[in-house]
């Protein structure tokens, strides 16, 4: 199995987690990293043993050894940087959310198709073994038809300040794009597109959501979802079917512990993750590159588009707007 050459663009906290897991994945190599900050790029490169580092993004895009680039920039830069990379013939794994809105996602998909390059949104929960097991329990009818889903994601970020990426609209702040995407992903992946959406939010003075509650209505099911930057809580997820219930322990989006409870039995499973959990999306993207695929069958470009359409609808209901919406 041949090695796949990776580059990382944007070297914030999540890039550190990703790079540490990349070192654990066989037949992959961190070729180069890039940041607008020379010192940050140098320190990051030394820590994660990349061959090269650059203090400009354009240099990374020109590196012939880099096959695929992980985009870990601020949300409003995702579309622009991903398109720039794909225009240079690079495959892209872009951190979630794929872009700021449906318009940007469609632009990205157009470039991916025209340049015939691989593109995938980095929704790492989709590829974790615990989530794969949840899907198996549903697909093999062990749980029965899903009737109810509840998932939350909250932490107290009020001490971060209005200019932090959490609250600044110029940086794509707000819970929906940052953490609310996880509960929404869970409902979408397991139940599909809803018939009706209701949502309400408490907005900051800057106009982004600091608390968000969502009710999705399906033909025979409901999903209740919540995200917040105002308080801590134990983040579990519950999926109730006609034959039993699945519990995903805290923090559910990265949990190694899940349980299936039926009237006859309780099945508890614990998974030992390889690293922090990013290794599984790295393996998926790397294998797609080796096989010449342009998208993942597990999380397709249409999946990303529909998820963004849901987020746009929720934003419209709550009056959440960003400068990028005017582009």
User: Which domains are delineated in the chain?
Assistant: 4-123+278-296 (3.40.50.720), 129-272+307-326 (3.30.360.10)
CB 204 within 8 A of CB 326: no
Tens place of pLDDT per residue across the chain (327 aa): 899 999 999 999 999 999 999 999 999 999 999 999 999 999 999 999 999 999 989 999 999 999 999 999 999 999 999 999 999 999 999 999 999 999 999 999 999 999 999 999 999 999 999 999 999 999 999 999 999 999 999 999 999 988 899 999 999 999 999 999 999 999 999 999 999 999 999 999 999 999 999 999 999 999 999 999 999 999 999 999 999 999 999 999 999 999 999 999 999 999 999 999 999 999 999 999 999 999 999 999 999 999 999 999 999 999 999 998 976
| CA distance readout (Å), 229 to 73, 146, 162, 197 | 20, 29, 12, 22
Asked if residue 119 has a cis previous peptide bond (ω within 30° of 0), the answer is no
Cα(266)–Cα(184) distance, integer angstroms: 27
Residue in this structure with the two tokens 């998974």, named with its chain if needed: 271
The pTM score is 0.97
CB 184 within 8 A of CB 304: no
Asked if residue 251 has a cis previous peptide bond (ω within 30° of 0), the answer is yes
- Supply the pLDDT for residue 177: 98
- Cross-strand bridge partners of residue 238: 150, 247
- Supply the pLDDT for residue 1: 87
CB 236 within 8 A of CB 224: no
- Supply the pLDDT for residue 65: 98
């Amino acid at each position: 199995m041949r090695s796949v050459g990776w580059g990382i663009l944007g070297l914030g906290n999540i890039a550190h987690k990703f790079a540490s897991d990349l070192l654990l994945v066989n037949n992959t190599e961190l070729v180069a990293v890039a940041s607008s900050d020379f010192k940050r790029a140098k320190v990051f490169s030394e820590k994660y043993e990349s061959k090269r580092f650059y203090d400009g993004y354009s240099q990374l895009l020109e590196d012939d050894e880099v096959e695929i680039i992980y985009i870990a920039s601020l949300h409003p830069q995702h579309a622009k940087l991903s398109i720039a990379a794909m225009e240079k013939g690079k495959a892209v794994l872009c951190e979630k959310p794929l872009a700021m809105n449906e318009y940007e996602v469609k632009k990205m998909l157009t470039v991916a198709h025209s340049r015939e390059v691989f593109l995938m949104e980095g929704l790492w929960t989709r590829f974790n073994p615990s989530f794969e097991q949840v899907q198996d329990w549903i697909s093999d009818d062990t749980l029965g038809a899903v009737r109810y889903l509840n998932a939350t994601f909250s932490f107290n970020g009020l001490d971060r300040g209005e200019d932090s990426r959490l609250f600044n609209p110029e940086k794509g702040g707000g819970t929906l794009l940052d953490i609310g995407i996880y509960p929404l992903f869970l409902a979408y992946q397991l139940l599909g597109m809803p018939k009706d959406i209701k949502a309400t939010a408490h907005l900051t003075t800057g106009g982004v959501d600091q608390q968000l509650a969502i009710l999705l209505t399906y033909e025979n099911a409901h999903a209740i979802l919540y995200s917040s930057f105002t308080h801590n809580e134990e983040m579990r997820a519950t999926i109730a079917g006609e034959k039993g219930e699945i519990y995903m322990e805290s923090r559910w989006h990265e949990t190694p512990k899940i349980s299936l409870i039926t009237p006859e039995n309780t099945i508890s499973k614990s998974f030992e993750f390889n690293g922090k959990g990013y290794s599984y999306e790295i393996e998926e993207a790397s294998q797609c590159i080796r096989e010449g695929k342009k998208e993942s069958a597990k999380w397709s470009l249409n999946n990303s588009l529909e998820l963004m359409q849901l987020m746009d609808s929720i934003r419209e209901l709550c009056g959440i707007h960003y400068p990028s919406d005017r582009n």
